[in-house]
Amino acid sequence: MFKTILLPIDLGAPASWNKALPAVFRLSQPEGLILHVVTVVPDFGMSVVGSFFESDFEDRALHKAGEDLSAWVNQNIPEGIEVHPHVAHGRVYEEIMKAADKLDVDAVVMASHTPELGDYLLGPNAARVVRHARQSVFVVRGE
């Protein structure tokens, strides 16, 4: 049983939490769970792409993600659970691992889709987190 858990979610993809959130409660201590929920706003990756957006676009996107994450927490996390929402910015798998280390969590619980051919070549975020995280990582298959 784990006391401090990180749950990475994609606010635009309910499959990222539909099965992972119930798994958090099954894997946690009955009382005293500290849940950190993180959503990652990807960076543009290339400055050429970024030049097509307004200069304050990333700031507005991060602010909106924070508002949306707070609303998600209010709708999905039961009363009495200590929950801390976090918005990160960068490469998804890197930000998940940074958050896990910084927040000193016991485990990461995250969803993953069924692998396709492209996943074996590029590697999905869950696979990268499993390979490189210092914490226990539980991958819950989505739809």
User: From CA 9, how far away is CA 68, in angstroms rounded?
Assistant: 12
Is residue 108 classed as helix, strand or coil in its secondary structure?
A: strand
Q: What is the pTM of this model?
A: 0.86
Considering its fold, how many domains does the chain have in total?
A: 1
Is residue 109 classed as helix, strand or coil in its secondary structure?
A: strand
Which pLDDT tens digits describe the chain residue by residue (143 residues)?
899 999 999 999 898 899 999 999 999 977 899 999 999 998 766 566 666 777 777 888 899 999 999 999 999 999 999 999 999 999 888 999 999 999 999 999 998 865 554 444 444 777 888 888 888 889 888 66
CATH code where residue 15 lies: 3.40.50.620
Contact 73, 42 (CB under 8 A): no
Domain that holds residue 76: 4-141
